[in-house]
Structure 1
């Protein structure tokens, strides 16, 4: 963890691993009292997961529209440059934005053979599995963001035929710069279309993995505070 830079005076790994673990231990210790304290946070996070699911659904609809556009272009003897790349980006965005929503609605495959031995073993094995998953997802999220940053630093561009308007890059760049720089950024923005920088389609990966890590830590605290898993699979009739 030598490359985990300090954040607000503490190494980043302390914020990402130590503090969430302490919060989980607090939930295990206090139980219902911790649940009462965290319930407003849980309600807010549920809305965030649902919003991510809606965004994933929108990207899925976008894939359909791109396919229809490709069909119309083929029938009209027209070209639709970059359509394959746009569809690939949309598919990746659908997958990553749906991670947290799918987890919280019991859509992920969970092997429960050992969990069914008895209630006591089930609780501790479930908590251990959730803790390991939270650690793994947090690592994944951290390095997804690092990949995003490296792509921007190297100014890596797509090798396909897809283009994006320059103002779109400026819009997303605002979130990585201080408000005092926004005026200069827009003043230097042209109305041209440029090759897609790789960091742009990588953004859903970073956002989706961060939401997944938060969701696993979140449902770990719910499990420890309420003494039973809150991940309920949807029953289809």
Structure 2
């Protein structure tokens, strides 16, 4: 059973890296859109929807990067209270915070998936010049939020199993309670 959890841990870590890589691709796409917008204005050429697509790429990049950023310890944490606690209190505080974060991120993921589904069902289009089907960018955002919810829950399981308050963003190793 321990081998299963080790493999699952490593597979999830790969998912977070791939999600981060996809976020980087969308961030490059934002740059391309901005550059295209600048050059097209200089050349007095109209490119329909370039601002829309830039916004969609930025939202996709932001949501896809959440899980990888959590794993790398890049999210802002207020460590003042945490640093003054003993090991047991620190562990319980981390568990409580991760429980709340798991609930909130799961709630967000559920409703972003629901939003994309509604947009798909009613074939909603953006009001901009490109008239993009909204479920396309919303689906990417929903995927990012799902991966983030999984990563928060994964961090919670790691903290509980390892009994280590810093395990949520630690490197993947065997899930053993030491």
What stretches of structure 1 of length at least 5 have no aligned partner?
1-33, 163-194, 233-237
Partner residue in 1 for 2:63: 96
Indicate conservation of the 8 Å contact 1:127/1:224, yes or no.
Answer: yes
Indicate conservation of the 8 Å contact 1:151/1:198, yes or no.
Answer: yes
Partner residue in 2 for 1:118: 86
Alpha-carbon distance, 1:114 to partner:
2.6
What stretches of structure 2 of length at least 5 have no aligned partner?
171-178
Alpha-carbon distance, 1:139 to partner:
1.0
Alpha-carbon distance, 1:37 to partner:
4.2
Residue from 103, 109, 134 that aligns with 2:102? 134
TM-score by length of structure 2 reads 0.89
1:142 aligned counterpart, secondary structure: helix
Indicate conservation of the 8 Å contact 1:114/1:122, yes or no.
Answer: no
Partner residue in 2 for 1:106: 73
CA deviations on 1:180-233 (whole Å, 9 max, x unpaired) are: xxxxxxxxxxxxxxx31111110122101100110011111111111112225x
Q: Which has the larger radius of gyration?
A: 1
Aligned equivalents of 1:204, 1:35: Cα separation in 2: 33
Residue from 143, 152, 160 that aligns with 1:216? 152
Indicate conservation of the 8 Å contact 1:102/1:108, yes or no.
Answer: yes
Aligned equivalents of 1:144, 1:115: Cα separation in 2: 32
TM-score by length of structure 1 reads 0.67
Q: What aligned pairs does 1:31-180 form with structure 2 within 5 A after superposition? A: 37-116=4-83, 117-162=85-130
Q: 1:35 to 1:220 in 2, by over 3 A?
A: farther
Partner residue in 2 for 1:187: none
Residue from 113, 135, 147 that aligns with 1:199? 135
Alpha-carbon distance, 1:149 to partner:
0.9
Partner residue in 1 for 2:173: none
The alignment covers a number of residue pairs equal to: 167
Alpha-carbon distance, 1:79 to partner:
1.0
Aligned equivalents of 1:72, 1:139: Cα separation in 2: 41
Aligned equivalents of 2:3, 2:87: Cα separation in 1: 24
Bigger strand fraction:
1
Aligned equivalents of 2:14, 2:4: Cα separation in 1: 18
